[in-house]
A = this chain, B = another copy of it.
Amino acid sequence: MSKIRVTIWNEFIHEKHNPEVKKLYPEGIHGMLAKALAASDLEIRTATLDEPEHGLTQEVLDNTDVLLWWGHAAHDKVADEVVQRVLTRVWEGMGIIALHSAHMAKVFRQLNGTSGKLHWRESGDKERIWVTNPAHPITYNLPEYFELPYEEMYGEPFMIANDAQVLMISWFEGGEVFRSGFTLQRGNGKLFYFRPGHESFPTYYNENVQKVLANAIRWAKPVISTPYPKTHRPEALEKLSTKDFAFGKAGIIKD
């Protein structure tokens, strides 16, 4: 079986400008995850905001099965042309995994069809993540719950699409709850959102967090990956009856 081609995208800003974040992720969150998730069935590359076309050229996306997305401080710096390119690839079948503050990324908001807003507190709360669907491939091999000693708090209501299949709900020491892991399908592509991963904490070193991402990559790989077929179907499959009404075709090709 051919390898799953994974591209880990990171805006890569905090790690360069904040010394404490740099200490946690010297190679950037993308670099650290590329090493942590390395496996024989995966072919992993990384891309960042500062690269030409943010490192997400058509060629790169055409050769990506699953895209991971971490962004926080520069959502508005992501070019709309690249956003549209990512959406189109998701509709074709590319899987996408949105991480933590990517809830405000253009790609996440447009795939949800919502504002992506939530409540937040950069507090270092203890977070306990409960598995609500233990039979899903993404939660495979997880304990009933796992804890993160310090994280940013995200609280409900979380503005996401109603069809989110919720897999995990977080309990926060400070008194809030949050739908921390959920899936969507958009066109042929699958989306998974995973809440933890604030840049100021060693979250991505957590064994269960890595297990979730490893499971999610395998789950998100395309079943099929193809553009929508020709939309104009001038020929009917069954004989049409004759009508007592003549009409002028006003339509235009929508393809």
A-side residues, CB < 8 A to B, are 14, 18-21, 72-73, 88, 91, 93, 101, 104, 110-115, 117-126, 128, 130-137, 140, 144, 149-150, 152-153, 155-159, 161-166, 169-177, 179, 184-189, 198-201, 222-224, 228-229, 231-238, 240-241, 243-245, 247-252, 254
Rounded to whole Å, the gap between the CB of A226 and the closest CB of chain B is 8
- Shortest C-beta distance, A133 to chain B (Å), equals 7
- Residues on B with beta carbons closer than 8 Å to the beta carbon of A174: 236-238, 240
Whether A125 pairs with B240 at a CB distance below 8 angstroms is yes
In the complex, chain B residues whose CB is within 8 Å of the CB of A153:
233, 236
**A140 to B221 Cα, complex, angstroms:** 14
**Do A223 and B117 touch across chains, with their CB atoms under 8 A apart?**
no
Q: What are 7 A-to-B residue pairs whose CB atoms are below 8 Å?
A: A18-B248, A112-B113, A120-B233, A132-B179, A149-B245, A161-B161, A177-B177
Main SS at interface, chain A: loop
Question: 20 extra interchain contacts, Cβ-Cβ under 8 A, other than A119-B233, A121-B236, A124-B243?
Answer: A14-B250, A19-B248, A20-B250, A72-B251, A91-B115, A110-B113, A115-B228, A117-B231, A121-B235, A131-B157, A133-B157, A134-B188, A135-B188, A152-B251, A156-B169, A161-B161, A162-B163, A162-B165, A175-B237, A200-B250
Complex: how many Å from CA A162 to CA B186?
Answer: 7
The 8 closest A-B pairs by CB, nearest first: A163-B163, A174-B236, A175-B237, A135-B188, A20-B248, A175-B238, A200-B247, A113-B113
A229–B128 touching, CB < 8 Å? no
In contact, A115 and B187 (Cβ under 8 angstroms): yes
- Which residues does chain B contribute within 8 Å of A111, judged by CB atoms? 113
Rounded to whole Å, the gap between the CB of A184 and the closest CB of chain B is 7
C-alpha spacing A159/B247, complex, angstroms: 28
Q: CA of A156 to CA of B186 in the docked complex: distance in angstroms?
A: 15
Q: Give which listed residue, B119, B135, B172, B179, contacts A231 with CB less than 8 A.
A: B119
A63–chain B nearest beta-carbon distance, Å: 19
